[in-house]
Structure 1
Amino acid sequence: MHYDWEELSDGVRRCRLPFLDVTVGLVHGEHKNLLIDSGTTPSEASRIADDIGVLTGGAVTDVALTHHHFDHILGSSGFGTAVLYAPAAVARAMTTHIGQVRAHALRYRADPESVDRAIAGIRAPDHIVTAADLDLGGRSVHLELPGPGHTDHDMVVVVPPVVPGQQTVVFCGDLVEESADPAIDAGSDLPAWPHALDRILALGGPDAVYVPGHGAVVDAAFVRAQRDWLVARSIPESLRSSPPGSPAS
């Protein structure tokens, strides 16, 4: 095995890749294996494919890409026969905006040669998703865009349990982060982000396992706390600094 795959529920695993601590997820069905996000490079993709072959006895058949950032999509070029599911913005990133994706990767010091090899093999998603249910054989998963936040198109993957007593698993992409504060940039929608987390909590419920795009697995209380942190960040500085009951300057 190349990576340490953490078992979250029966047939549901995830690993944390060394580069940028990106999480990729695995959902194993009777007929299909779904990969959630794909890392950055062909070598990462090859190692992931090897590991999934050992874990499941089969290949990756389907890939869900949560958002357009390079560390979540470029490795998809290593799964050439898999069916790709993604929001429309990811399709644009993988086609007409691929130059911006490359530049973003290089700003994070990804290896240029590896990035270019990934881009040479990349293709547009097969299915553009706003909400969908996938049948993997003996289990289904739900894909949904719960609302803008980290980007304007974040997608989550909800995996109900197939064994009584086990927990729902929600792969949150970068709407939730554990190893650092949420990454807020020019493409983020800070006022809307807490509402997206409310939707994630409604999809998973209070007892679900929540898998961030980076970092350790968390629970509903962590997601609520991150939502509250984002709410506080969205309040204008003038209001945050004003004493209760005093007018904003």
Structure 2
Amino acid sequence: MSAGRGFQEVAERVWVARYEWFDVNVTAIGSDRGLVVVDTHGSAAAAGGVIDDLRRLGAGDVAAVVNTHAHFDHTFGNGAFRAAYGDIPIHAHEVAAAETITAGERIKAAVADDPDDPHREDMLATEVVPADHTFSSAVVLDLGDRLVELVHPGRGHTAGDLVVRLPDVDVVLGGDLVEESAPPWLGQDSWPLDWPLSLDMVLGLTTSSSVVVPGHGSPVDRDFVEEQRNTLGIVAETIRDLAVRGVPVDQALAAGEWPWEPRLLEHAVRRGYEHLPRSQKRLPLV
């Protein structure tokens, strides 16, 4: 599934649109009570394009929104969807909802300092609207003719990740716990030691026939998720090994053997060292 082709059906009444900016996916789930849209893109203006694509799809009005986590490229369109469809519920994990405004302010501050960003003005003009329907572990949305399961499998890409499971068609929407078009982003709010265990929970929601929609890139299968889980496991175990051997955090990136380019793992190493219990750390070797 290439970027920029509008909504494509990946299972019965499950459509995914892949947008070039951040190669982000937006998913629409059809039901007799309207569409549930999962993630809303990175600005109010970008969300306007998503809404135009949904109207061309002709599968009904949007009845609810789900945010897979708090990052701007998945939440900044929330307000545009409210403007287009009224006071629809916006669902997210409780941590993601609590962090949405803070995360939005952080990215706005960063883009304000970058006059060359082509999306700068659109992002700065976007009102950040957090979810108002939250849960802690799992919740089921009853859409009449189908059920939509929202599950918090644990911390990983952020502390408030959720996945969406559609049991009637064996589809799982992985958010940024799963990424296809680039290595998973272990940013400054990631949980690299927890992420493999969270993907174990996601794998438990899949079968050999599942379609898994990542936060970025083309849909994948269970084998892809398992491989990514194992690679993230290597990152986590490498961090543990370096810390146990007393390698200082500022030397760990150079000292480790990593499955991805070290520059992609700067935050992961720092965060991993921070999250390790004291019993798993040694004093730096001298």
Decide: shared fold, TM above 0.5. Answer: yes
**For 1:99-120, what per-residue CA distance to the aligned partner results, in whole angstroms no more than 9, with x for missing partners?**
224235557836232113322x
The answer to whether the 8 Å contact 1:172/1:212 transfers is yes
TM-superposed CA distance for 1:98, in Å, is 3.7
Question: Which letter does structure 1 place at the counterpart of 2:90?
Answer: L
Identity %: 33
The answer to whether the 8 Å contact 2:44/2:80 transfers is yes
Q: Give the direction of change, closer, same or farther, for the CA distance of 1:168–1:180 in structure 2 (3 Å limit).
A: same
The answer to whether the 8 Å contact 2:112/2:124 transfers is no
d(CA) in 2 for partners of 1:107, 1:196? 35
Unaligned runs of 5+ in 2: 246-255, 258-284
Q: Are 2:109 and 1:103 aligned?
A: yes
* Correspondence list, 1:1-249, <5 A: 3-80=5-82, 81=86, 82-95=88-101, 98-104=104-110, 109=117, 111-119=119-127, 122-130=128-136, 131-161=138-168, 167-236=169-238, 238=242
Q: What TM-score, normalized by structure 2, do the two folds share?
A: 0.75
- Which residue of structure 1 lines up, in the alignment, with residue 277 of structure 2? none
Q: Give the direction of change, closer, same or farther, for the CA distance of 1:124–1:4 in structure 2 (3 Å limit).
A: closer
d(CA) in 1 for partners of 2:224, 2:113? 30
- Structure with larger RCO (C-alpha < 8 A, sep 6+): 1
d(CA) in 2 for partners of 1:87, 1:218? 24
Question: Which letter does structure 2 place at the counterpart of 1:138?
Answer: D
d(CA) in 1 for partners of 2:107, 2:202? 27
d(CA) in 2 for partners of 1:216, 1:142? 22
Unaligned runs of 5+ in 1: 162-166, 242-248
d(CA) in 1 for partners of 2:75, 2:118? 13
Question: Which letter does structure 2 place at the counterpart of 1:91?
Answer: A
d(CA) in 1 for partners of 2:237, 2:224? 20
- How many residues are treated as equivalent by the alignment? 235
**For 1:22-66, what per-residue CA distance to the aligned partner results, in whole angstroms no more than 9, with x for missing partners?**
011110001121000010122221222222223244221100001
Determine which structure has more spread, i.e. the larger CA radius of gyration. Answer: 2
**For 1:87-107, what per-residue CA distance to the aligned partner results, in whole angstroms no more than 9, with x for missing partners?**
223323344554224235557
Structure 1 residue ranges (4+ consecutive) displaced by more than 6 angstroms after TM superposition: none
d(CA) in 2 for partners of 1:92, 1:177? 24
d(CA) in 1 for partners of 2:110, 2:204? 33
d(CA) in 2 for partners of 1:50, 1:83? 20
TM-superposed CA distance for 1:132, in Å, is 0.9
**SS of alignment partner, residue 234 of structure 1:** helix
d(CA) in 1 for partners of 2:20, 2:98? 27
Q: What TM-score, normalized by structure 1, do the two folds share?
A: 0.86
Question: Which letter does structure 2 place at the counterpart of 1:78?
Answer: A
Cα RMSD of the aligned pairs, angstroms, is 2.3
